[in-house]
Structure 1
């Protein structure tokens, strides 16, 4: 269950020129909705299903699909995704997770799905009627996508999938999976194709759940002679790697935003604690050392926020102009993801230290944030991968 929010998050960033009135309206409407939600999150799988239902009923999942599928906006808008994830992350990282996976899990269908595929899946995702998942990682193929071992072989009745996917968010609760498999084993990243696999497909086993330090529904998926129809192919044959990267590019800046939301919440918790904690005849906030730490925390958050908003604006601007979202756009998203996740981790660690023993007490907000933030420095491209993307961009000039 979400703990009491110490104070409403600041909305001063909405005045920045990165956002327009539609974004400001979205953010101002979302804040009171979030504050009114209480979900028992002790069972992460049940809680995620509940969050998807609530986010769908509230109309917020309409921002995870395009207008043609009943979405709130004509196309996926990175700035809207950023504002949603930052606000949800401030209130409940699990709510943020539920929202994000609806977008990421169906993003490849938005980008490359046939009209029939989009009609079958996207509207249901936007209403919270179907839960989506993105299945790319494997036991020996995480950052190194070319090492993918899963195979998809043509068959008279469609495609036969063999292999294993792991660390799959929404694994075991999703209604369908966007799965990437090798259709040309010798082709490296140019031999990968995407498929839509319904959770009911014969030969798919999603029962192996993965327990992690901050509970989220994760699972290992096993495909044994899993047959899908020819219409399950998503996008071009052997075009799956580019499709996966395009999908991740849309949501990379929003991962930074989720970290921002958690960092902002940690700062708010630290401020409230510092003002209320009395020691040596004064409050903790009266000590200059405390003031210096709070100042550092605020600067870390705001610097990451500017990179995050810039990255989202750059991608949306490229989309508006019909330009490919590559090069500078990808580097900007990498900078945002790297700095926001790393900075939020530092902020949460400092907030925990400021709380003293209370910071490590199970059930406190700071303790849960400390666990929640850690995975953001790994998934959807670890910090080291973002550094490589940025470094290569710098070398290209």
Structure 2
């Protein structure tokens, strides 16, 4: 099983040996040994959809695999997992021969980069200046993409290029470039950039100097590049939050060790109520992040037409939740959180640095929240249920549910429904029939908050330009309400787990709903008590794996 393999690789002398990976980080050299081990195990096969010969049939499996890698070293997960992101446009377009060829290269261990950003362009894809001009039956590419993960090491790079000098929504196209197939001197690599975190990753760039590519380098159709990228980002944003969950796992392992070993004033540090409460808050943030992420991974299969909203919520909220968790763990560790040479604790400073990038790539928190804010008028009350088909959310979130086949053709650029949040009333009613220890009261307060939010959203109308600050604040509240609904849906969907460690007496649900209400500005009574319970459980056997479902997908090569 994959998790056990990674554990074995983490032993002294192994490719995931923390000492080796720390040395790569300090020298800013690529973690080639760890990536080679992942290649040998067969992880690239999970980046390729099953219809093209790979093993990607369920996004939650890819999620679990990347989370496992990130729980040991986030930089390795970023460096290796980038191939899934780089290839996403090809899978979304569904071009048969191009996709089949790329699939073979990926499963043979070739890396793929995704060239979207350019110097000075930031997150504005319409500002891209790299051009693709027709040249007989092919195209000539001119311009730069920077900064790009795996730009130098990746044999392939998928780039968004301007095919209409005037630009605009239909002025861009996507090209898959095999750098080895270009004429000498027409592709130049830009130097690796020094970075605060993920120091050993290949964060560099690529410049095309009138580089000729064949006609079949075009992915999809001319002028559909922007739409293709936006749809692909919906998949990659859901996938990449697995990196946050892995970082959270790593941090909690360190925190658990510290609480078990540290003594203060002659007694164990874990006996201090404040220490347990802080630890419990960090646990609740990770479990809420998992609830949102797991729901999104299933939504990819069940309600892909809603993914433009769900992925934006997930990418905005999950890294934020985990970054807050890391701050809490840092508060517990004190000076040990800054020391790199202390056995067992030196990894915290690295994971804290590394994780900061997750909230930036594939659209920053602000970019995703802005996208959600722009969508709120289409999601306003009265429009809901117009497109709702298929089983209810509490059915497709059952652990044993077999997700619908992954179908990128069902993705859209503007969601007009949110099945998860739209089911909140029904979920609260179902919870009331068998509510654990006050969870029903917390859920009822969440429903009241959502009703109030609906009133504000109902008054919104589409506007041109960036969303105003007031709408951005509504979007943030919408994220919290969605997170609470996701947690409730997972609880209702999985009654057979209710007697397990984190589930017993609704502990994880109460902790998550308490966090959500605090995020909405409420102050639910008993917050300290539920976080104290979570912190105490972290120190027991259940603390070995802080997850709603244990290892979500024990897959083998």
TM tier, smaller: 0.7 to 0.9
Q: Distance in 2 between matches of 1:49 and 1:103?
A: 18
Q: For residues 249 and 32 of structure 2, what CA distance do their matches in structure 1 show?
A: 26
Q: 1:121 aligns with which of 95, 99, 102?
A: 102
- For structure 1, the 5+ residue unaligned runs are 1-28, 319-324
Superposed CA offset, 1:39-83 (max 9, x none): 23334686444334322221222111012333124x4x3212221
Separation in structure 2 between the aligned mates of residue 183 and residue 161 of structure 1, nearest angstrom: 10
1:375 corresponds to: 357
Aligned counterpart, 1:285: 270
**C-alpha separation in 2, matches of 1:256 and 1:233:** 29
Bigger Rg, structure 1 or 2: 2
Correspondence for 1:190: 170
Give the corresponding residue for 2:85: 104
Match of 1:387 in 2: 369
Q: Deviations over 1:9-42 (max 9, x none)?
A: xxxxxxxxxxxxxxxxxxxx22101111232333
4+ runs deviating over 6 angstroms: none
Counterpart position of 2:117: 137
1:158 is the counterpart of 2:138: yes
TM-score w.r.t. length of structure 1: 0.86
SS across alignment from 1:138:
coil
Specify the SS of the correspondent of 1:305. helix
Structure 2 unaligned regions, length at least 5: 381-557
Residue 358 of structure 1, aligned match among 336, 347, 350 = 336
Structure 1 CA distance for aligned equivalents of residues 359 and 282 of structure 2: 18
User: Quick check: 1:110–1:122 contact (8 Å CA) kept in 2?
Assistant: no
Mapping 1:199-218, distance limit 5 Å: 199-200=179-180, 201-202=182-183, 203-214=186-197, 215=199, 216-218=201-203
* 1:347 CA displacement: 1.1
1:244 aligns with 2:226: no
Q: Deviations over 1:253-293 (max 9, x none)?
A: 12222101101221221121111011210121111110110
Cα distance in 2 for partners of 1:251, 1:30 equals: 22
> Normalized against structure 2, the TM-score is what?
0.62
Shift of 1:157: 5.8
Select the residue among 316, 323, 335 that pairs with 1:338: 316
- Give the Cα–Cα distance (whole angstroms) in 2 for the partners of residues 374 and 51 of structure 1: 21
SS at match of 1:291: helix
In 1, Cα distance between equivalents of 2:7 and 2:67: 14
Larger strand proportion of the pair = 1
